[in-house]
Every structure is written in C-alpha cells, then in structure tokens.
Amino acid sequence: MFYNYNNTPIYYTITGAGKTLVLLHGLMESSTMWQDTIAHFKDTHQVIAIDLPGFGQSGNLSDTHTMELMARIVAEILKTENIASASFIGHSMGGYVSLALAENFPEMTDALILLHSTTTPDTEIRKKNRDRAIQILQKNKDAYVSMAISNLFTKKARDQFLEAIQQVKEEALSFSAAGIAAAHLGMRDRKDRTSVLANFSKQKLIIAGIDDQLLPINDAKYISKITNTPLKIIDAGHMSWIENKEEMLNSMLLND
C-alpha cells in the first residue's frame, strides 16, 4: 500500500498480527530484502516493511533525504495505521533511520536492532568517498551500481552468491540516480547518535558480520561496549540476509 507524504508515494507492506515490528532497508535496497525476515516474524508480529524514499516503489522527496526526514516518514506511517509504538530492525542506512526515530520519537520506539549499522557519523574520508560516489553515479549509474554492490561482499561471497548478488544489482539499477544520491547526502551529513543508543533504556542489539567490508568488527565491538548494547557477531559480511540468513534470523531476538 502507499502513504502520501508531501505528494510523494511511500510504499509499505503489512503482514501478520501481533506487536508491531518495522523493517528498514539500506542503501540501494528495498523492502524486498526482508522477505525471509517477514516470513520469520509474521506468526508472532505485525510486520511492516517500508520502501524508504528513492528506493523500491517510493518516490523522491528532495535532493537530500536526511535520516530525520526518513524517520518522520516512518512515524507518519505508524500514526496512519494507528500504531502507537513498534520495534525496529534497520540494515545499515535503515539502522541510522532507526536511531533517528529513537531520538526524535522515543515514545514510538520499543526496541532497536542495528543490523550491520553504527551510531557514529561518517569520517572525513567516508564523506569524500560519498561525494566521489555521487559524481560517478551521475556520470554512469550502471557502473557505479555494479561496483558499489560488489564492494559490499568479500571475494568468497561474490563467488558463492553470484545469482543473488546479480538480483540485488538488477533491482538497484531500477532506482534513480537522484534517489541514490539523496540517500548518500543524507548519510554523509548524519549526526553522531552514540549517546542515543547509550541512553536507550529498552531492548537493544547490534548484529555485526565478522567479514563486514564497510563496518569493521572492532568498531562494532567498541560501540557495543560504550553504549552498553549487546553484540551478536555472525559469520557474514555486510549483507547477512544473503550470506547467512539463518544465523541472522536466529540472532533477531525480541523480548515481546
């Protein structure tokens, strides 16, 4: 179904019944990444999977899609569905949006699971890399998408999950360069939310991949320690929903 936010369609699905669980995808992904997760939780939860602006079937809102903007859209969808609060699982960028929700809509946030995500802002090097990525994206989207998605995986994973990775690339090619760039800019300018996670007193969890090419495992260990957040390390890289979905799903424990 669609929610109309500032005359822009935002697509989402609702499956199952029970306490609400919201799933938020990462860069160049969509709600389709959560098919196995929805199947895993639908018998115990009402599962909402949202296409964040610029991805899947959702439109673009502006040149920059900030984490705060995306959090506000998620909150508006929940209000529309008469849902007072929910648990959130966010993959990478979706984790940044979940943290923005916890900060700006604390009463709506029952639990936080950060899947291959972090609380810290971009380093200066990462910011420059995003600016460079946007330049490449605007010149040759196909080349950028192929390179960026390949870089999410180890060589071993690229060989092992060739078909699944190709499907991710094909979906990503359907997204507009403007939508991808808007997400990059929003992530480049995102704030540090380490204190948000540290002060979050409800259920929280970090799931990290031992071979994550984007978020080194030692960084996840450090964030876990300073925020007093349980850490589950799994045998995967940045894309456990492809590389090791069974261990990923078994790690997603919700108290409710």
216-253: pLDDT as tens digits? 999 999 999 999 999 999 999 999 999 999 999 999 98
Q: How much is the mean pLDDT over the chain?
A: 97
> How many structural domains comprise the chain?
1
pLDDT at 193 over 90: yes
Q: Give whole-number Cα distances, 62 to 8, 36, 101, in Å.
A: 10, 31, 20
Instruction: Domain of residue 212: give its range.
Output: 2-251
Q: Which residue type is seen at 59?
A: G
CATH number at residue 97: 3.40.50.1820
Other C-beta atoms closer than 10 Å to the C-beta of 25 total 26
67, part of any domain: yes
256, part of any domain: no
Please state the three-class secondary structure of 218-234 as a single string.
HHHHHHHHHHCCCEEEE
114-157: pLDDT as tens digits? 999 999 999 999 999 999 999 999 999 999 999 999 999 988 99
The encoded tokens of residue 22 equal 């919201």
65 CB-side CA count, 13 A: 28
